[in-house]
Structure 1
Amino acid sequence: MFPSIVGSTSVYLLPGDPVTNVRLPRMFNAVFERCGIDAVMVPVQVAKRDLAVFVKAAFLAKNVRGMAIAPPHKPLLVDLLDGCGLFGRVAGSVNVVRRIANGELEGDLFDGEGLLGALDHYNIPFRGKRVLILGAGVSAAAIGVALAEGGTVNGAEHIAFHDIVAGKAAGVAAQLDAFFDATTVAVDSSDPAGYDLVVNATALGLKPDDPLPVDVARMEPHAALFDILLRNQPTPLVRAARERGLHAQAGFEMLVQQMPHYFEFFGHRDAAHALRHDADFLRELIYPPAMADEIRHPLRYHSASVA
């Protein structure tokens, strides 16, 4: 049973527009209850034009401890902050905000670290590998930052961005190239040949009639695919890759792997530690029933050809 909300309850907000399909409040509240934390997360629908006023006003309430940020607001928060982590600065976007002791607001971005955690969870190699990222939006930039930040030893050796909007991929690649040693480039084609890992960070796959964002038949026999989408999973892209015998995974684990980072950021270190040891209850909460077997047997969906 969900704990009572009283005067001492800490409040975390999730502004977005819309917020009808957000999963984080369910996940946060499940962790709060499981770990005995007197706190609650509430989704709030806020229009882009009202975001600045809303954020400044909401943090006037002393029991509002922080916010998780839903689309389309992630890039809009950066200019409202007094401080921002490296990933947020480079990607120009944040997905969490907290108020520190002096009243200032700090933000950070954990999309990329969630992706790396998901790849490790599924034993998908990315260190020293060649990666093709489809899309050059907020999530794609965050993923690129995380892959590049580890250098060529702990991160990817070569990161290529492809986006159908002219110049968008080049802008992201140039931003990363200025900060990190990993080779980051923009490419004119979504051809996956020659890459060890393909990450779909586009919206293609949300609609039944969407074309595949990449030609799976052109992927290398050893290559893996990660589709960050949370709806309509497994998407036609994931299914097509699996039919080829490739290691292909959906975006749910990326969200699960961000949770310890969120709780660490908000000062709940014990909860973050617990989540790193056991997050299956969150997987059961957000994975669709058709994918329940992947919670219990994640490596069953690992192709033997992945090296």
Structure 2
Amino acid sequence: MSPFITGSTQAYLIPGDPVRNVRLPRMFNAAFARYGIDAVLVPVQVPVRDFAVFMKSAFLARNVRGMVIAPPHKPRVVDLLDGCGLFGRVAGSVNVVRRTEGDQLEGDLFDGEGLIGALDRCNVPFRGKRVLILGAGVSAAAIGVALAEGGTVNGAEHIAFFDTASGKAAGVAAKLDAFFDATVVAVDSNAPEGYDLVINATPLGLAEDDALPVDVARMAPHAALFDILLRNQPTPLVRAARARGLNAQAGFEMLVQQMPHYFRYFGHIDAADAMQADADFLRELIYPPAMQAEIATPLRYQSPSVA
């Protein structure tokens, strides 16, 4: 980001409701400054009832080049686009929108790629494994798409969704199972036995007095856990899993791993490549003080039984 916003500055927006806790403006603007890109990302609070009108009207401004979509608006974007990537179409939501040279609006979803990148960096095996996803909302669906898209060789072999809302997990599982080779099912229990990886995609853990979304004492000794939450980390779930010696990771790395995808999607290729090679400056921005040591040692909580 330039020290001064000028008439040539490219504007990117992040609409949400609320937006007071969004971390991406800090990350994007630090990256813009680091790589000499004359652009700025601005959070805007937009109520659900106004979102469709806002999105269409905002792109009438010629210097608005794109948006990063914050909750609760991700599922509302797909029907407003001229084109949408595979992940966005299957999951039924997008988290990024760009204006093309032909003035079309295109969107895609990078939650899943962020999760895959985070699992790889944190040495969490998932390829050919059995995965239990807790929750069946937007983020859970995106994660399921990413895990299933690689097939049974580069992706998970078996993916199970659990959600306390009746029929929600079954709807997501049926949609993904029809698209991909991996076995995707809905289950009626959050029991972790038989799974190599458990992913928490529920809001449980945002409050200290929340019940744990899964009983980590019942997880296999080799199993790993990933909690996509960003606030209140390390959550009670992550702390409980680590106390057992399991490889348990917080959601920050998922956000960091999405950043190169965002920048590449917006046409900032050199910056995307640079972040792909070294994103520690982003980790230093968003990891809480208690977790700063994990920036340089992502394998710190590797289970002894994982090669």
Q: Same fold (TM over 0.5)?
A: yes
Aligned partner letter, 2:53 = V
> Is contact 1:224–1:306 with CA below 8 Å preserved after alignment?
no
Structure 2 distance, partners of 1:291, 1:33, is 25
1:67 — aligned with what?
67
Structure 1 distance, partners of 2:11, 2:122, is 33
Q: 1:182-220 CA deviation, whole Å, 9 max, x = no partner?
A: 000000000000000000000000011100000101101
Aligned partner letter, 1:149 = E
Q: 1:282-303 CA deviation, whole Å, 9 max, x = no partner?
A: 0000000010001122112212
Mapping of 1:120-159 within 5 angstroms? 120-159=120-159
Aligned partner letter, 2:145 = V
Structure 1 distance, partners of 2:299, 2:79, is 42
Mapping of 1:16-165 within 5 angstroms? 16-165=16-165
Structure 2 distance, partners of 1:306, 1:190, is 23
Percent identity of the aligned residues?
Answer: 81
What is the number of residues matched between the two proteins? 307
Structure 1 distance, partners of 2:53, 2:143, is 29
Structure 1 distance, partners of 2:296, 2:149, is 31
2:246 — aligned with what?
246
Structure 1 distance, partners of 2:3, 2:285, is 18
Aligned partner letter, 2:203 = A
Q: 1:135-170 CA deviation, whole Å, 9 max, x = no partner?
A: 000000000000000000000000000000010000
Aligned partner letter, 1:186 = A
Q: 1:15-58 CA deviation, whole Å, 9 max, x = no partner?
A: 00000000000000000000000000000000011111111111
Note if 1:221 corresponds to 2:226: no
Q: Runs in 1 of length 4+ with deviation above 3 angstroms? A: none
Alpha-carbon offset, residue 2 of structure 1 = 5.9
Q: 1:228-266 CA deviation, whole Å, 9 max, x = no partner?
A: 000000000000000001000000000000000000000
Structure 2 distance, partners of 1:37, 1:302, is 37
Q: Alignment partner of 1:198: what SS?
A: strand
> Is contact 2:128–2:154 with CA below 8 Å preserved after alignment?
yes
2:284 — aligned with what?
284
CA RMSD of superposed structures (Å)? 0.8
Q: Alignment partner of 2:66: what SS?
A: strand
Alpha-carbon offset, residue 305 of structure 1 = 1.6
Note if 1:5 corresponds to 2:38: no
Q: Alignment partner of 1:133: what SS?
A: strand
Alpha-carbon offset, residue 304 of structure 1 = 1.6
Aligned partner letter, 2:264 = E
Q: Alignment partner of 1:5: what SS?
A: coil
Aligned partner letter, 1:278 = D
Q: 1:103-139 CA deviation, whole Å, 9 max, x = no partner?
A: 1100000001000000000111000000000000000
> Is contact 1:131–1:199 with CA below 8 Å preserved after alignment?
yes
Alpha-carbon offset, residue 306 of structure 1 = 2.0
Structure 2 distance, partners of 1:101, 1:40, is 20
Structure 1 distance, partners of 2:160, 2:264, is 31
Structure 2 distance, partners of 1:301, 1:128, is 22
TM-score with structure 1 setting the length: 0.99
> Is contact 2:245–2:301 with CA below 8 Å preserved after alignment?
no
Tell me, which stretches of 5 or more residues in structure 2 are unaligned? none
1:177 — aligned with what?
177
Tell me, which stretches of 5 or more residues in structure 1 are unaligned? none
1:189 — aligned with what?
189
Structure 1 distance, partners of 2:249, 2:137, is 20
